[in-house]
Amino acid sequence: MTTLQSTIIRRRSPFMRKAFPYFLLAPAMIYLLGITLYPGIYALYRSTMTGKFKLEFVGLENYKELIVDNAFWESLYNTLVLGSITLVIEFTIAMALAALVYRDPWVKAWRIIFLLPMLFMPSAVSFLWKLIFNDGRIISDLLTRLGSTFGNIDFMGSTGFARSVLVVTDVWQWTPFLFIIFVAGLQGMDKEVEEAARLDGASWNSIFFNISLPMIRPVIAIGLVLRGIDILTMFTPVHVITQGSPGGATETLSYFIYRTAFKSFEQGYASAASVLLLIATIVVSQTLVRRFFKSGTE
C-alpha cells in the first residue's frame, strides 16, 4: 500500500514537486493581497473622487489640495518629530537597561518586571497617562510638592507639554519591546570574546562599546526598524489623549487620515493622503526590511 502510494506520488512528482509550495502559499497570498492590493487600488480610485454619497470624478484635485494643506504637512512633521524623539529615548533607556542586566543572575525577574507595561492595551495605557497628567493632576501635584510654583499645569495647553505626554506614554509602554530584544541579542553573543578582552585588561566600558555593541548591530537594527514603523503609525495615544490638540500640534499622519475620513467624512481627500502614505510605506519597507531581515532568511 505504502509503496503503491509512493510510486503514484513519484510518478506525478515533476509537476507536483514544482507546484506544491505555491499551493501551500496560495491561501495566505490571496488573503494578504486582499489587504494590500485591494486597498491600494481602491484608495487610488477613491482619491480621484469627491463627495460623500454621490461621487464625482475630480481627477488630481484632491492631491493638489493636499499638497498645499498645512494640516497635512504639519501632521507629517509631527509624526517625524514625535517619532524620532520617542525612538531615541526608548533606544537609550532600553540599551542602558539591557547592558546592566544581561549578565545579571536575576535577569529573568528584571525582564518580567520591565515588560509589564507592554502587556496593557495601548488604549488603557493612554487613559492611564491622560489621568496622571491631566485629569487627575498627579504630575502637577507631585511637582508642587517638590517645590514647583506652576500650580496646575494644563498639559494639553501647550505644544511642548502635549507632545511630551505622548512621548512619555509611548516610552513607558514600548521601551520593554526594545529592552527584550537587546537583552536577547547581548545574551546570544559569544561570552568568550568578552572574557578574552577582560583578561587582556580592557575596561567594562570599552568592552561594551567596542566589542559587544558592534557585535549586536544587526539585532539593534531589527529592533529599531520594527519599533520605528510602529511609532510612525502612532494613533492610539493621539486619539485618546490629545485628539491633535493644541491646534493640531500633536496630530500624526495616521490621525490626520482618520480625522478627515471618519470625522469630516472627506473620504476622497483622506484617500489621497492614504495613497501617499502607502507609497512611502512600500518604499521604506522594501529597502529597510530586505536589508535588515536578510540574515533571518539566509
* Three-state secondary-structure class, residue 48: coil
Radius of gyration of the chain, Cα coordinates, nearest whole angstrom:
25
- Contact characters 127-166, other proteins, x per CB under 8 A: xxxxxx--xxxx--x-------------------------
Residue with C-alpha cell 498639559? 155
Q: What would the grid cell of residue 76 be?
A: 507629517
| Between 70 and 297, CB nearer to other proteins | 297
Number of residues that bind other proteins (CB under 8 A): 108
- Contact with other proteins (CB under 8 A): which of 85, 89, 117, 197? 117
Q: Does 209 bind other proteins (CB under 8 A)?
A: no
> Residue 246 contacts by C-beta under 8 Å, 6 or more apart in sequence?
156, 157, 158, 159, 162
Please, are residues 58 and 48 in contact by the beta-carbon 8 Å criterion? Answer: yes
Q: Does 284 bind other proteins (CB under 8 A)?
A: yes
Smallest distance from other proteins to CB 195, Å: 7
Q: Does 63 bind other proteins (CB under 8 A)?
A: no
Q: Which stretch binds other proteins (CB under 8 A): 51-59, 62-70, 125-133, 243-251?
A: 125-133
Q: φ, ψ for residue 70 (rounded to 5)? A: -60, -40
Residue with C-alpha cell 528584571? 110
Q: Which stretch binds other proteins (CB under 8 A): 25-33, 58-66, 81-89, 243-251?
A: 25-33
- Contact with other proteins (CB under 8 A): which of 122, 155, 165, 212? 122
Q: Does 71 bind other proteins (CB under 8 A)?
A: no
CA distance 272 to 278: 10
b vs e for 107-118, b when ≥16 Cβ sit within 10 Å of the residue's Cβ? beebbeebeebb
Residue 228: other Cβ atoms inside 10 A: 18
- Contact with other proteins (CB under 8 A): which of 36, 92, 148, 210? 36
Q: Per CB under 8 A, which of residues 80..99 are in contact with other proteins?
A: 93, 96-97
- Contact with other proteins (CB under 8 A): which of 85, 172, 211, 213? 172
